[in-house]
Structure 1
């Protein structure tokens, strides 16, 4: 028998311990290379990012697809909009009019046209790596100071209500047709398409009505005449739905009243006539649909002119007062609800043109008092006085006035003996009148406004449904 020594016993114990620990020799004896380590399944997995998929662009469009620009006048940059994926490159075919460019990265059209051009059509393409989208636009380039034809209204209207909406839309409602019948129809000039289109029909046929745009973009129409009926009813047009809805009635019927939006969003209506000129006035609250008394003017007036002044007060001037043309003017203060006489005009006038100037003064021009009037004058709210603004080159009743971007005033049409095609410009800086080029059509009791492109639009009148444009 082998004798177990102390050294042998220590060696045996050491070997047993190493075997139990998986050791021995180089420490890997009897085990695979992966034993004693975490399995692959137990290790956290990191997913590879999925390849990014680019989305093609869609529905490329511009705010207006029919544009008119003037030679030598820088245009307001026209910016595109689209859906889907971001557009990385824009192109246009054929090339834009001389002086205009398309930014290939942003799609913005900008520049200053240099040559007159008839309406031409252009295809604009927006694309990225996944696809493309296409839209079409039309551009005309005209000479500044020249009149050119625009889309005609659908029907000739005498004494309609007119309201100019934000965004270049014009609403024309009611009036009488060529047979003298009061109309319930309304139409809208859509600036992006350049066309007049019928819109919702009023609940009541009416002419010689008052119309104004509310603070929320809707339009209120009140009063007027429907054949032999004098109207106290009112209704509201919503351009979002193209519908008219009845609202509260005024306290009395009014034919040819005047209406203006107040600074607090309420509406003042005053004057008019039934069996005589009216002195009373009322205020409409769009939030409740109700009318409340706003006191009596000092002078009853039919066809007065209302202008809201910079201080929130309202100037009323002229008009017919029981078959006598008035030179008196007065101011309404909404804060206290009172009418106060102010300076008297130098000339009594009815059916004249009026416009608020940039400096807060008010220009009135032309009108009627036994004959058409050529004189003009300016009201200064700070002094309450009227001063001469010279003589127009042509006497005009039923003309239309519009404030231009330059601060000058364009007066168009009206009548001396027959509807006038002439137009003229007043410069407040010099106090001088100068003739502009004649319109293509004579017109009286028509509308005029400046559209978003900076050009003037004149439309309709008692004698024509036509429209035309003009750039300063």
Structure 2
């Protein structure tokens, strides 16, 4: 009895060491490639329920000692008991140096794709009707606002230029209208806040100016309503924070004012709910906000909704498949990057906490994947831009750490392509980035 307890204790210690220095082949078959090193594969660990560890397959069986047949434990220090394909599937003692991450770096799910021509952050990305991606505006490292636009073709991984916007801008919005055109509104044009708006026609690859908004806006939101109109809310107008809202009608290409929000807000979020109403959350003015409100397109009126647990700004909001809204991260009134998450239920009008992210972040992205999960990428933690990514499962309300991106970045864009991949573009990591990567 005492002997078996010792063996179990040793096995646990070995497994702790293994998992720290190597990586598990999660969901992989035995001997499957598990590393960017093609000589590495998945080896079943003895005394586990078909759990595999990634290790080099280039060990000769003649150099490996068998495991203790009574308990599948290695009596050699710094060895682990595995099943090796070249050793007649016998349990052998494998050196931990051969399963080290440095020897067998994990396969990454992030792949670099073609670089954009102009390094940029605070830009916007839109999926065109043909599946290509249009990025517009932003700011470079000089720092100067950009009027350039580029198109990404997922079938080739190549970027190509298209006609420039009329006005340089960053901190603007970009919305895909029901007619397939792209509406860009507001933003900051090198110190000049914009009320100008422009339309991009993907068929002619040209821009034209359309009606101007009543107010200059930066850090505002734009939402496509069920009737096809675009609701613009809040923003910063030369240091004056707005509670006003406006509607754009694509049929007439004109703007009209609608009901004012109860609170002025900037760097907030706006989400179109399944019932057609628009939920606006948080934001910053002279202080950070935990207030939320609902816009009813049928009446043009706003009503105050339940407050969130945290006052926050520069967070994300995602409408889940179940109709709930997931809020992630943001910065708080103490300028701290938050790792908190919350769920809004439109059927009850209540907020509930859900599990926290692993990393605090703001100026990150949140993408609703085809399977209903939400992928969080990058952002800023108060000191540095991040390369970390996390996945939220709405069914279990849990977070999973994902492979890190190839580049740390914040204030970037993330687009869900029609093939299910995620395209990340630009952002900043102390300077503007021109890199792009796919998940």
Partners of 1:425 and 1:145 in 2: CA distance: 15
- Tell me the residue number matched to 1:427: 393
Query: Offset of 1:192 from its aligned partner?
Result: 2.4
- Tell me the residue number matched to 2:437: 468
Unaligned runs of 5+ in 1: 1-70, 73-142
Partners of 2:108 and 2:312 in 1: CA distance: 29
Q: 2:184 aligns with which of 183, 205, 221?
A: 221
Query: Offset of 1:158 from its aligned partner?
Result: 2.0
Q: Does the residue aligned with 2:240 lie in a helix, a strand or coil?
A: coil
Query: Offset of 1:145 from its aligned partner?
Result: 6.3
Mapping of 1:30-45 within 5 angstroms? none
In the TM superposition, what whole-angstrom CA distance separates every residue of 1:201-232 from its partner, at most 9, and x where no partner exists? 11111111111110011000111111121111
Change (3 A) 1:144 1:364: farther
Q: 2:414 aligns with which of 423, 426, 448?
A: 448
Q: Does the residue aligned with 2:283 lie in a helix, a strand or coil?
A: coil
Q: Is the 8 A contact 1:167 1:452 kept in 2?
A: no
Runs of 4+ in 1 over 3 A off after TM superposition: none
- Tell me the residue number matched to 1:391: 356
Q: Is the 8 A contact 1:152 1:467 kept in 2?
A: yes
Partners of 1:144 and 1:345 in 2: CA distance: 39
Query: Offset of 1:435 from its aligned partner?
Result: 0.4
Change (3 A) 1:340 1:144: farther
Q: 1:294 aligns with which of 258, 271, 280?
A: 258
Q: Is the 8 A contact 2:385 2:428 kept in 1?
A: no
Partners of 2:166 and 2:119 in 1: CA distance: 20
Does 2:144 correspond to 1:175? no
Q: 1:415 aligns with which of 364, 373, 380?
A: 380
Q: Does the residue aligned with 2:355 lie in a helix, a strand or coil?
A: strand
- Tell me the residue number matched to 1:458: 424
Partners of 2:412 and 2:152 in 1: CA distance: 14
Partners of 1:174 and 1:468 in 2: CA distance: 19
Partners of 2:171 and 2:225 in 1: CA distance: 21
How many residue pairs get matched?
A: 329
Q: RMSD in angstroms over aligned alpha carbons? A: 1.6
* Larger strand share, 1 or 2: 1
Partners of 1:391 and 1:460 in 2: CA distance: 27
Larger Rg: 1
In the TM superposition, what whole-angstrom CA distance separates every residue of 1:70-112 from its partner, at most 9, and x where no partner exists? x99xxxxxxxxxxxxxxxxxxxxxxxxxxxxxxxxxxxxxxxx
Scaled by the length of structure 2, the TM-score of the pair is: 0.73
Partners of 1:449 and 1:145 in 2: CA distance: 19
Unaligned runs of 5+ in 2: 1-26, 29-105
- Tell me the residue number matched to 1:366: 329
- Tell me the residue number matched to 2:271: 307
Query: Offset of 1:307 from its aligned partner?
Result: 0.8
Partners of 2:265 and 2:164 in 1: CA distance: 30
Query: Offset of 1:353 from its aligned partner?
Result: 2.0
Q: Does the residue aligned with 1:434 lie in a helix, a strand or coil?
A: strand
- Tell me the residue number matched to 1:347: 310
Q: Does the residue aligned with 1:348 lie in a helix, a strand or coil?
A: coil
Partners of 1:171 and 1:318 in 2: CA distance: 28
Q: Does the residue aligned with 2:313 lie in a helix, a strand or coil?
A: coil
Q: 2:342 aligns with which of 359, 369, 377?
A: 377
Q: Is the 8 A contact 1:446 1:460 kept in 2?
A: yes
Q: Is the 8 A contact 2:163 2:205 kept in 1?
A: yes
Does 2:242 correspond to 1:278? yes
Mapping of 1:65-84 within 5 angstroms? none
Partners of 2:184 and 2:232 in 1: CA distance: 10
Q: Does the residue aligned with 2:395 lie in a helix, a strand or coil?
A: coil
In the TM superposition, what whole-angstrom CA distance separates every residue of 1:14-52 from its partner, at most 9, and x where no partner exists? xxxxxxxxxxxxxxxxxxxxxxxxxxxxxxxxxxxxxxx
Mapping of 1:3-22 within 5 angstroms? none
